[in-house]
Chains A and B, each alone.
Chain A
Amino acid sequence: MAQVSSKLSANSPTGPIETRWEKHKFNMKLVNPANKRKHTILVVGTGLAGASAAASLAELGYKVKAFCIHDSPRRAHSIAAQGGINAAKNYSNDGDSVYRLFYDTVKGGDFRSRESNVYRLAQLSTAIIDHSVALGVPFAREYGGLLDNRSFGGAQVSRTFYARGQTGQQLLLGAYSSMMRQVSKGGVELLPRREMLDLVQVNGTARGITVRNLVTGEIESHAGDAVVLATGGYGHVYYLSTNAMNSNATAAWRCHRRGAYFANPCFTQIHPTCIPRSGHYQSKLTLMSESLRNDGRVWVPKEKGDKRKPQEIPESERDYYLERIYPSFGNLVPRDVASRQAKFRVDEGRGVGQTGEAVYLDFADSIKRLGKDLVVEKYGNLFDMYEKITGENPYEWPMRIYPAVHYTMGGLWVDYNLMSTIPGLHVLGEANFSDHGANRLGASALMQGLADGYFVIPYTLGNYIAANPLPKVETSHAAFQASKEEVAQRLKKLLNINGSKTVDEIHKQLGDVMWQRVGMSRTAAGLKTAIDKIRVLRQQFWTEVKVTGENNFKNSELEKAGRVADFLELGELMAQDALIREESCGGHFREEFQTPDNEAKRNDEAFSHVTGWEFAGTADKANWNEFREPLNFEYVHPSQRSYK
């Protein structure tokens, strides 16, 4: 039976929520400016969270080593975020406030997040905008020169700052430029094309990492006083997702195996308007802005297996199912509802397109009503993108859309200081589980990554360093040598299996199991089957996979193999977590737990907690212990939503 673990103590400050972060900052110990340069911080990952952390820590005077798997830190997948970034500036004079952003985030997360963390996030949101503008991020402007805001993801207020459809790119380039400034000043040492393959602990604290040089294959040790992990989410466990091809969970998973608890792994977000896959070779799904649902109508044929062209299907034989089931919200129901309904239609055999795994998003009525020119103005770039990928003209054919995995709310467990259950190991951005609860609001991922990196870690890491004796550790220490040896052995093992299946083949099979059974709609039976299937796949992987080449020069297959091996364990944990969470909330929908209206039915009595998983397996065997961090809601009281 699961128990409350003392390791999962949130260390949240107490008192009025508005003053907690202020109070906490004052109570934290400071590092003498002259001493900062004596401390080395290892920052892994250079997306929004990692780059902003590396830059800010170096500005304070710490010696930072920044690692990324890409050829350049600017390639991190934060670059692909489209929509925007929320901030409680209330520039729109429409009643926004820090408290409202806090409230919306807790509620949007379906009451599965920590109030103190969320409040701090809302407080820091405004400073992110100020700093980003100072760095030259070209946010959209009004004609008078002030910043423009839009409403996003169903929010009642306009609090989203954006840079056309490339907000993530612009914010990342801002953080990257700050980091590169520190690189040229000598504050940050940049180590690109390095993959973290192990965490090194000395006396129970995180003191270093073992990385593989992806160009030469060399296994390197790096020692420091603390490790900051900002390596993103694990959506690529589904193989097909909107994540990048190199997005992976390996760094986080290696830390998990070394003792960092993994929290709420089953909370995944599915985005309803993605371009569906066109064949087995498909490698990646592309997201299209949700704004399309403002004017497009979603439908499928009423008949099963109707293979006619969409234009040939008369109105009377179309099922505008969202408008039918949710008359008041219609096509604008929340992401998870729209996604699930699409899946139900496909499962009924009413999906469209060659694969039958899609529904129509039709603009014919809008073009009639608004005129083509207005539609071009509003959605032209999205239509062009759709046409580029599918070769179909969306002005003449309805678009085909289908949901895809987009973001993972779960991640390594961290306390209020963003420190994991391993002292010294801090986790930022999507890699941690902290602020979004069971579901993330649109335009909040960028906010969280940057809040963690620019404004939280510079304080809390200082406190950790000031409060703990950190005797100097060299990479010649036995712990580093042991880790290096272990990493080398594992790589050797992967190369020596020499079976007949490619890494991608197994990854695709894993993805299929995950998508079918641990995707947007889950059942106990399905999850149990998934666990069995994943175990079989894992077994197959370690006996039948074929990894070509050697551990020298660049070897993408070897890189992928290590990542898929970890996904094969993480996938099982996700299913375990989904199985024991006998309720539906946010991105976790259990078919057994729904209202008569097919709405998610939470169980606050039994599940108002964070599940933290401790790895209890061995090198060859995965096994976990379940622990809990109870959640208390002092300000925002749990309520049930309805979109009917």
Chain B
Amino acid sequence: MAEAKGMNLSLKIWRQAGPQAPGSFLEHQAKGVTPDMSFLEMLDVVNEELIRSGKQPVEFDHDCREGICGACSMVINGNPHGPQQATTTCQLHMRHFKDGDAIVIEPFRARAFPIVKDLVVDRSAFDRIQGAGGYISANTGAAQDANAILVGKKESDRAFASATCIGCGACVAACKNASAALFVSAKLSHLALLPQGQVEREERVVNMVAQMDAERFGACTNTGACSASCPVEISLENIARMNRDYAKASLKRR
């Protein structure tokens, strides 16, 4: 239950005016933080204070605040989306912190995710990877009856589990190599596990991996930090499937 008085926290937040500007940490105080606040609501309160005192508020990406849009994207005390597993920053609540805590807040850091401002980064590389093959080429209007394709419940559930990726980029942020393997393999697996995805399966993996490399993400060292940091717990099995499909497709390619 919420305490009336609340906690005081000292925050060290990465501030950077623009993509080319130099960045540095600035100290901010969060006062009267209650345990029921979400982490972003705590930042809202800090920002309100900053605005009142005529200073620039901290920029951060956020939108749905219910853990599904994938917009929120910060690294809290070294961990993407903070210390809790299977949680996005917007669903992280202040009851996991205590009075007097010092919290370091940084943007997702990766060469492929250039900083836009403060904690906001540009994740359009993910969109380009998706565009390179993360789809089934079916034009509107051409489909047959939905039940004409049978998909076993187990296969469908597994495809769904891969398809739940919210595209937040925490996997890249967590990886020591800033690898996008988990994101890319989740999309590949979603489509590779469904009968509809088979026709373009080989071409898809080759093209998406090529785009992933062109975006300058690092390679996968199989440390598992990505999956541990993933708000929707995408499995490492997806990466193995991508590796397997990639080898097969590359060897067969004409």
Contact = CB atoms under 8 A, between A and B. Distances in A.
Q: Do A's and B's CB atoms come within 8 Å in the complex?
A: yes
Interface string A503-519: 01100000000000000
Interface stretch (A99-107, A175-183, A428-436, A627-635): A175-183
Interface in A244-282: 244-246, 278-279, 281-282
Interface in A593-640: none
A476 to B, nearest CB: 29
B135 A177 contact: yes
Contacts of A458: 140
Interface string B181-208: 0000000001100101100000000000
Interface in A303-327: none
A131 B62 CA distance: 31
A177 B130 CA distance: 7
B142 A134 contact: yes
A180 B66 contact: no
Most buried by B among A74, A75, A502: A75
Nearest to B117: A554
Contact of A455 (B50, B65, B137, B140): B140
B131 A134 contact: no
Interface string A362-402: 00000000000000000000000000111100000000000
B147 A146 contact: yes
Most buried by A among B64, B127, B146: B146
Interface stretch (A8-16, A111-119, A135-143, A572-580): A135-143
Contact of A71 (B38, B122, B138, B194): B122
Most buried by B among A130, A192, A354, A455: A130
B201 to A, nearest CB: 11
B36 A278 contact: yes
B153 A145 contact: yes
B68 interface: yes
Contact of B167 (A56, A74, A143, A190): A74
Interface stretch (A166-174, A198-206, A340-348, A415-423): A166-174
Most buried by A among B36, B40, B152, B190: B36
A354 B55 contact: no
B48 A502 contact: yes
Contacts of A49: none
A281 B42 CA distance: 8
Contact of A133 (B52, B65, B128, B196): B196
B48 A143 contact: no
B123 to A, nearest CB: 6
B238 interface: no
B135 A180 contact: yes
B79 interface: no
Given A129-B146, A147-B147, A180-B130, A173 B64 contact: no
Contacts of B246: none
Interface stretch (B7-15, B157-165, B172-180): B157-165
A163 B146 contact: no
Contacts of B56: 548-549
A283 B44 contact: yes
B151 interface: yes
B214 interface: no
A279 B36 contact: yes
A286 interface: yes
A245 B65 contact: yes
B160 A163 contact: yes
A130 B146 contact: yes
A553 B117 CA distance: 7
A27 interface: no
A73 B137 CA distance: 19
Interface in B102-161: 116-117, 120, 122-124, 126-128, 130-132, 134-147, 149-153, 156-157, 159-160
Contacts of A135: 135-136, 138, 196
A59 B131 contact: no
Contacts of A30: none
A554 B153 contact: no
Nearest to B53: A548
Given A281-B44, A389-B93, A184 B131 contact: yes
B65 A131 contact: no
A581 interface: no
Contacts of B35: 391
B117 to A, nearest CB: 4
B18 interface: yes
Contact of A391 (B19, B93, B120, B145): B93
Contacts of A284: 64-66
A568 B21 CA distance: 36
A70 interface: yes
Given A71-B122, A72-B127, A177 B136 contact: yes
A132 B149 CA distance: 12
A515 to B, nearest CB: 18
B251 interface: no
A138 B156 contact: yes
Given A181-B137, A279-B34, 19 more contacts: A71-B122, A75-B69, A77-B64, A77-B69, A91-B147, A136-B136, A138-B190, A139-B146, A147-B146, A181-B135, A215-B19, A215-B116, A245-B63, A245-B65, A246-B63, A281-B34, A454-B141, A504-B48, A548-B51
28 contacts: A56-B140, A70-B71, A72-B123, A72-B167, A74-B167, A75-B64, A75-B71, A77-B64, A89-B146, A127-B143, A130-B143, A130-B146, A135-B196, A139-B146, A163-B163, A177-B136, A180-B131, A245-B62, A282-B41, A283-B41, A286-B66, A391-B1, A391-B35, A500-B52, A502-B48, A546-B54, A549-B56, A556-B59
Interface of A: 52, 55-56, 59, 70-75, 77, 79-80, 89, 91, 127, 129-136, 138-147, 163-164, 166, 169-170, 173, 176-178, 180-181, 183-184, 190, 192, 215, 242, 244-246, 278-279, 281-284, 286-287, 354, 388-391, 454-455, 458, 500, 502, 504-505, 546, 548-549, 552-557
Interface of B: 1-2, 17-19, 34-38, 40-41, 44-45, 48, 50-52, 54-57, 59, 61-66, 68-71, 87, 91, 93, 95, 116-117, 120, 122-124, 126-128, 130-132, 134-147, 149-153, 156-157, 159-160, 163-164, 166-167, 190-191, 194, 196-197
The 4 closest A-B pairs by CB, nearest first: A145-B150, A184-B131, A134-B143, A177-B135
